[in-house]
Chain A
Amino acid sequence: MALLAVDKLAVHMPSHHGPIPLVREVSFSIEKGETLGIVGESGCGKTMTALALMGLLPDGAIPSGEIRFEGENLLAQPEDRLCKLRGNRLAMIFQEPMSALNPVHTIGSQIAESLILHRGLYPADAEAEAIRLLELVRMPEPKARLAQYPHQLSGGQRQRVMIAIALACRPDILIADEPTTALDVTVQAQILDLINDLVDELGMALVLISHDLGIVGDITDRVLVMYAGKVVEAGPTVPLFNRRAHPYTRGLFGALPDPGRARGSRLYAIPGTVPDPWLVPGGCAFADRCPLVEQACREAVPPNVEVGPDHRALCRRTDMMS
């Protein structure tokens, strides 16, 4: 049994146009110690998928399908059961470390809260454990940090604190939603190394959400490429990065700057824009932006083609993409 198995997850947001699909038919599974990357541009449903895993969808959003954590369907669990899992078995770190810490509480008390809540530690023990966690995330002078407030820390340090809080209860799954987007490049590398080392060290599963292919390629075992709420390509990282079976994946790679590129040449940009979720066309959602589009693409939902071992792409023209 997989640690986490997501089956046909969909998220709809009601509106006066009727329910808007934000996430559609997302399926994947992840084992202990495995790392999964989810890539795609803004608004493709990456964050909604992550929030659905945590049971933290915004008010009104309606999830459907199944999210099985050790066989238990999280979507069917009551809120108090989810509270016991969140922060304990499932943990999440966010994009914006500057605003993800409460400005009125000290770092120490924010880390200790989780330890007291889930592990039932006494405040004195929680403090010692908080110091140990700050050491784990390689925070300089961990002891002095406990009494500091979030505004006294830099962005990278705050993200380390967020990671320390996430790791407080040794979660089985860590969901990192663009954990380095708001940080400087040098700090980015440090934080990613840290997450990577901690995943190895603690044997957690990692779901890394990013729009940055470089980051995802470096640390993940498997990758999902999402577009307009759907997984358009899924496979092991290295074959997927080499094969790029879906035209959208190609487009994403084309948009990466390459140091060997001729000066002055333009980066490739995928033409057009992401369709609004309530206007997603009937056939392939990418049809209007795809260089290989043919009439059939617009008429029917594309097949999920196996393009390699454990590697699938949602495209009827994968033969053109090898």
Chain B
Amino acid sequence: MKRDGLIMRCLRQRNFVIGLILVGIVLAAALVSYFWTPHSPTRINVPGRLAPASSVHWFGTDHFGRDVFSMILVGSRNSIGVGLVAVTIGVLTGVALGLLASAKRGWVEDLIMRMADFTFAFPAILSAILITAILGPSTFNSILAIGIFNIPVFARITRGAANAILARDFILAARAAGKGRIRITLEHVLPNISNVLIVQATINFALAILAEAGLSYLGLGTQPPDPSWGRMLNESQTFLFRAPMLAIYPGAAIMIAVLGLNLLGDGLRDALDPRLARSR
């Protein structure tokens, strides 16, 4: 197994390639939206409301006459931004807690893991609703809420993977060379569990996008006039029979992002852990 073959190994995974393309589309949409959108996503044009798809409005217009295509483009920023920040919060805090638990053992480990269990006991979306309901609906609070429910996921997976690494011979050898717990954790444990964490982060990114859409749909996430896929879904439901495409566009956008990230995560896992791939 050569290390420089990693990219090639990834590209040989069909899941990875499809995932990469789908995620690439979403990222490209977000990027393009910073420079160009067919119309302003917030410009209201009531006489032209609920227009069908045309060469002027590619995806038609919503009940305020706003251009749906532009809203989808700009909405991708919101989904990616919230997902990225929330997962980063989850990874940074969760990995730190998980490493602390596996390095310290004893009551520290028990405390951290029981806290993780406690957080897990509530359905993630429910606790996110709880947090945003207390702190008030806003993009920032939805990031916080989603980030918090990501923490125990990463704390658990880190601690589990780290404990498996800590039982390996090279850890004993590192201790015999006089390295302390913190040093061993950072230099030996973390690099060895990074592949597990990357895969989990990719999959949780998808869950975070889904959660953000859920919160926005309930009106607890991103507030108007900033476009968000979840709120577009919410607003479209009143017109579900008159203009069904209004629900389908944001729904498809969410599906592409979530499916893409999940496939990407699956492909990465197969590429990073050849043993798992072969057993399938």
Interface residues of A (CB under 8 A from B): 54, 56, 59, 79-80, 83-88, 91-92, 94, 96, 99-105, 113-114, 117-118, 149, 151, 162, 165-166, 168
With A94-B173, A100-B173, A149-B3 known to touch, is A83 a contact of B179 (CB < 8 Å)?
A: yes
Partner of B176, one of A79, A84, A87: A87
Scan B167-195; emit 1 where CB is below 8 A from any A CB, else 0: 01110111111111001000110011000
Residues of chain B lying within 8 A (CB to CB) of residue A87: 176-179
Contact between B188 and A83 (Cβ–Cβ < 8 Å)? no
Q: Which residues on the B side are within 8 Å of A79 (C-beta)?
A: 180
Does B105 reach chain A (CB closer than 8 Å)?
Answer: yes
Number of interface residues of B (CB under 8 A): 20
Residues from chain B with a CB closer than 8 A to the CB of A113 are: 177, 179, 187
Q: In the complex, what's the smallest C-beta–C-beta distance from A134 to chain B, in angstroms?
A: 16
Contact partners of B188 in chain A: CB under 8 A: 102, 105
Complex CA–CA separation, A81 to B172 (angstroms) = 17
Q: Which chain A residues lie closer than 8 Å to B173 at the CB level?
A: 92, 94, 100-101, 162, 165
Q: SS class of chain B's interface: helix, strand, loop or mixed?
A: helix
* Residue among B168, B178, B180, B187 facing the most chain A CB atoms (10 A cut-off): B178
Q: Among the listed B170, B175, B187, which residue makes an inter-chain contact with A56, where contact means beta carbons less than 8 Å apart?
A: B175
User: Which A residues lie within 8 Å of B8 (CB)?
Assistant: none
State which residues 194-215 of B face A: CB under 8 Å. none
| Contact with B178, one of A85, A104, A149 (Cβ below 8 angstroms) | A85
Find B177's partner among A80, A96, A165 (CB 8 Å cutoff). Answer: A165
CB of B134 closer than 8 Å to a CB of A:
no
Interface check B276, CB cutoff 8 A: no
> What residues of B have a CB within 8 angstroms of the CB of A54 in the complex?
175-176
A114–B176 Cα gap in the complex (Å)?
Answer: 10
Q: Contacts of A103 on B, CB cut-off 8 Å?
A: 170, 192
Asked if B56 lies at the interface with its beta carbon under 8 angstroms from chain A, I say no
Q: Is B1 an interface residue (CB 8 A)?
A: yes
Contact residues in B for A149 (Cβ distance below 8 Å): 3
Specify which of A94, A96, A102 is in contact with B192 (CB 8 Å cutoff): A102
Contacts of B176 in A (CB 8 A): 54, 56, 86-87, 91-92, 94, 166
Q: For A102, give its contact among B1, B170, B178, B180 (CB under 8 Å).
A: B170
A83 touches B180 (CB 8 A): yes
Contact B105 A83 (CB under 8 A): no
**A102 and B174 in contact (CB under 8 A), knowing A94-B169, A113-B187, A149-B3?**
yes
Inside 8 A of A92's CB, which chain B residues have their CB? Answer: 173, 176
Chain B residue, CB-CB nearest to A96: B169
- By beta carbon, the residue of chain A nearest B169 is A99
Residues of A within 8 A of B1 (CB): 151
A sample of 19 cross-chain residue pairs with beta-carbon separation below 8 angstroms, ordered by A number, consists of A56-B172, A56-B175, A59-B105, A83-B178, A86-B175, A86-B177, A87-B177, A94-B172, A99-B169, A100-B169, A102-B188, A104-B192, A105-B187, A114-B178, A117-B177, A117-B178, A151-B1, A166-B177, A168-B177
> Which residues of chain B have C-beta atoms less than 8 A from A56's C-beta?
172, 175-176
Q: Report yes or no: B170 in contact with A101, Cβ–Cβ below 8 A.
A: yes
Contacts of A84 in B (CB 8 A): 178
CB closest chain-A residue, reference B178: A87
Q: How far is the CB of B139 from chain A (nearest CB, A)?
A: 38
B189's nearest neighbour on chain A, judged by CB, is: A102
Q: Is the CB of B168 within 8 A of A99?
A: yes
Is B172 within 8 A of A105, CB to CB?
no
**Cβ of B170: which chain A residues have Cβ within 8 Å of it?**
99-103
In the complex, A258→B230 CA distance in Å?
Answer: 81
In the complex, which residues of chain A have a beta carbon less than 8 angstroms from the beta carbon of B180? 79-80, 83
How far is B180's CA from A114's CA once the two chains are assembled, in angstroms? 12
CA distance A238 to B3 in the complex (A): 50
Give every chain B residue within 8 A of A102 (Cβ-Cβ).
Answer: 170, 174, 188, 191-192
CB closest residue in chain B, given A58: B172
Question: What residues of B have a CB within 8 angstroms of the CB of A105 in the complex?
Answer: 187-188, 191
Q: Which residues of B contact A101 (CB under 8 A)?
A: 170, 173
Quote the shortest CB–CB distance from A12 to chain B (angstroms).
19
Kindly list chain A residues whose C-beta atoms are within 8 Å of the C-beta of B179. Answer: 83, 87, 113, 117
Bound complex: CA of A86 vs CA of B184, how far in Å?
Answer: 14
Residues of A within 8 A of B169 (CB): 94, 96, 99-100
Residues of A within 8 A of B191 (CB): 102, 104-105
Q: Which residue of B lies closest to A55 (CB)?
A: B175
How far in angstroms is the closest Cβ of chain A from B174? 7
Question: Cβ of A86 and Cβ of B105 under 8 Å apart?
Answer: no
Closest 9 CB pairs of A and B: A87-B178, A87-B177, A86-B178, A99-B169, A92-B176, A100-B173, A104-B191, A102-B170, A100-B169
Q: How far is the CA of A101 from the CA of B188 in the complex (A)?
A: 10
Task: Compute how far the CA of A248 lies from the CA of B72 in the bound complex, rounded to whole angstroms.
Answer: 81
Are A118 and B178 interface neighbours, CB within 8 A?
Answer: yes
A-side contacts of B168, CB under 8 Å? 99
- Chain B residues within an 8 Å CB radius of A91: 176-177
Bound CA–CA A166/B16 (angstroms) = 43
- What string of 1s and 0s marks CB contacts (under 8 Å) between B225-266 and chain A? 000000000000000000000000000000000000000000
With most chain A CB atoms within 10 A of its CB, the pick from B3, B168, B175 is: B175
Given A165-B173, A166-B177; 5 other pairs, CB 8 A cutoff: A54-B175, A56-B176, A100-B172, A105-B191, A117-B178
Residue of A nearest to B190 (CB): A104
What distance in Å separates the Cβ of B57 from its nearest Cβ neighbour in chain A? Answer: 52
Complex Cα gap A165–B192 (Å): 20
CA distance A118 to B176 in the complex (A): 12
